[in-house]
Amino acid sequence: MAGRRAEGSEAPWTPSTVLVTGGAGFIGSHACVDLLDHGYEVIVVDNYSNSAQQVFARIERIAGRFVGAVYELDIRDRRALSAVFDRHSVDAVVHFAAHKAGGRSTRMPIEYYDANVGGTTALLGAMHDHGVHRLVYPSSCAVYGDAGHGPLDETTPPRPTTPYAASKWICEQILADVCHRHPEYSVLCLRYSTPAGAHPSGQLGQDPHAMPGFLMPYLAQVADGRRERLEVFGADYPTHDGTAIRDYLHVMDVVEAHRLALDRLGDEPGMRVFNLGTGEGRSVLDLVAAFSSACGRSIPYEIGPRRQGDVTELVLDSTAVRRAWGWRPTRTLADLCRDAWRFQRLSPNGYADAL
């Protein structure tokens, strides 16, 4: 494995060539820009199941550099993945490719386990065959389930409430077993809170296919008049205004943590798990108010029933990663709303719009 440590040098190992699975997706595309900006070679695999090929022109325009190669393939296709590892000398992998909507996963458990667990084992098989042992694995605060009030740290026992969350927790356990059996592996699992926002250029953002299931793109589309009103999923939670509380984390803070993680893969073998969050909880109605002030428009909403699998509160304590790497989120909720709104204004129909 090459990495970026010069022969005989005492400088820490850092990867040169990174394979980003799901690199056309929401977090993956922002990670590509950040990695290109910091001098990495980036290879992407994606099947465009919830993303669009047009994103690469935008990534390259922002970064001023090209993604090294892009392969359209399904992450479960181990043979196709092997061909990618045959062609490129990959130092480390960031594995974003997954289905990610907790509520939807309760209606499609087989698809979720197949893509998320089957995709991860296919990837691990191809990595193993090619001697690639370094992985950053995006997990989720959803693994903690209904763990109660206040910021949760990594010692909180996982109790997933949806197939999506369970699939992330199962993958973490698979990775722990792999690291236990094969001491040459180095894996960093990042459990992060609800990612939102957009690239500050306004050229990249969250562009879900069809109806956005997530709060932030839905808010943006309502503010822009593309949708009539937001449906708030439940106002009978035991919170200050009855709506559920999440810890909204700017996508640029998320991807910066992934880059730090990549550089830390060389520090020690085995598996480490870190939370990424702001430690601050906001209700759905808090988000409506923050977005409304960012865009200067009122956002109509109505109260609907709870969404299956949702929990009252998920807020993360990131003290461990701050102590280990000095990572802390630097963007505010106002930044997050402003950036998401800029993306919506520049691309009201998502990546289908030419910029």
Ligand X SMILES: O=c1ccn([C@@H]2O[C@H](COP(=O)(O)OP(=O)(O)O[C@H]3O[C@H](CO)[C@H](O)[C@H](O)[C@H]3O)[C@@H](O)[C@H]2O)c(=O)[nH]1
> Which residues have a catalytic role annotated?
164
- Please state, in angstroms and rounded to a whole number, the distance separating the CA atoms of residues 291 and 278: 18
**What minimum distance in Å lies between the beta carbon of 208 and ligand X?**
10
* Residue that has been written with the tokens 């084992």 in this structure: 121
Binding mask of the shown chain, residues 43 to 72, with x at each position contacting ligand X by CB under 6 A: ------------------------------
Q: Which CB, 35 or 147, lies closer to ligand X?
A: 147
Does residue 336 belong to the site contacting ligand X (CB under 6 A)?
Answer: no
- Please state, in angstroms and rounded to a whole number, the distance separating the CA atoms of residues 94 and 344: 27
Does residue 233 belong to the site contacting ligand X (CB under 6 A)?
Answer: yes
Does residue 102 belong to the site contacting ligand X (CB under 6 A)?
Answer: yes
Q: Which CB, 36 or 143, lies closer to ligand X?
A: 143
Strand 41-46: give its sheet, edge to edge.
Answer: 69-72, 41-46, 17-21, 92-95, 134-140, 186-192, 270-276
Pairing of strands 270-276, 186-192: parallel
Of 158-197, which residues contact ligand X (CB under 6 A)?
Answer: 193-194
- Please state, in angstroms and rounded to a whole number, the distance separating the CA atoms of residues 272 and 263: 14
What DSSP designation does 268 have?
A: -
Does residue 284 belong to the site contacting ligand X (CB under 6 A)?
Answer: yes
Among 40, 85, 218, 341, binds ligand X (CB under 6 A): 218
Among 232, 257, 321, 333, binds ligand X (CB under 6 A): 232
Q: Which CB, 244 or 252, lies closer to ligand X?
A: 244
Q: Which is nearest to 266 in space by CA: 179, 172, 181, 187?
A: 187
Among 65, 73, 109, 214, binds ligand X (CB under 6 A): 214
Amino acid at 137: Y
**What minimum distance in Å lies between the beta carbon of 61 and ligand X?**
26
**What minimum distance in Å lies between the beta carbon of 352 and ligand X?**
21
The footprint of ligand X on this chain (CB under 6 A) covers a number of residues equal to: 22
Of 136-155, which residues contact ligand X (CB under 6 A)?
Answer: 140-142
Does residue 310 belong to the site contacting ligand X (CB under 6 A)?
Answer: yes
**What minimum distance in Å lies between the beta carbon of 50 and ligand X?**
11
Q: Which CB, 148 or 270, lies closer to ligand X?
A: 148
Q: Give me the half-sphere count of Cα atoms (radius 13 Å) on the Cβ side of residue 268.
A: 5
Does residue 347 belong to the site contacting ligand X (CB under 6 A)?
Answer: no
* Residue that has been written with the tokens 């691309």 in this structure: 347
Q: Which CB, 40 or 301, lies closer to ligand X?
A: 301
What DSSP designation does 50 have?
A: S
**What minimum distance in Å lies between the beta carbon of 321 and ligand X?**
16
Which stretches does DSSP call E strand in the chain? 17-21, 41-46, 69-72, 92-95, 134-140, 186-192, 194-196, 230-233, 245-246, 248-250, 270-276, 282-283, 301-304, 313-314
**C-alpha torsion angle, residues 49, 165, 147, 173 (rounded to 10):** -140
Q: Which residues bind ligand X (CB under 6 A)?
A: 100-102, 140-142, 193-194, 213-215, 218, 230-233, 244, 246, 284, 307, 310, 314
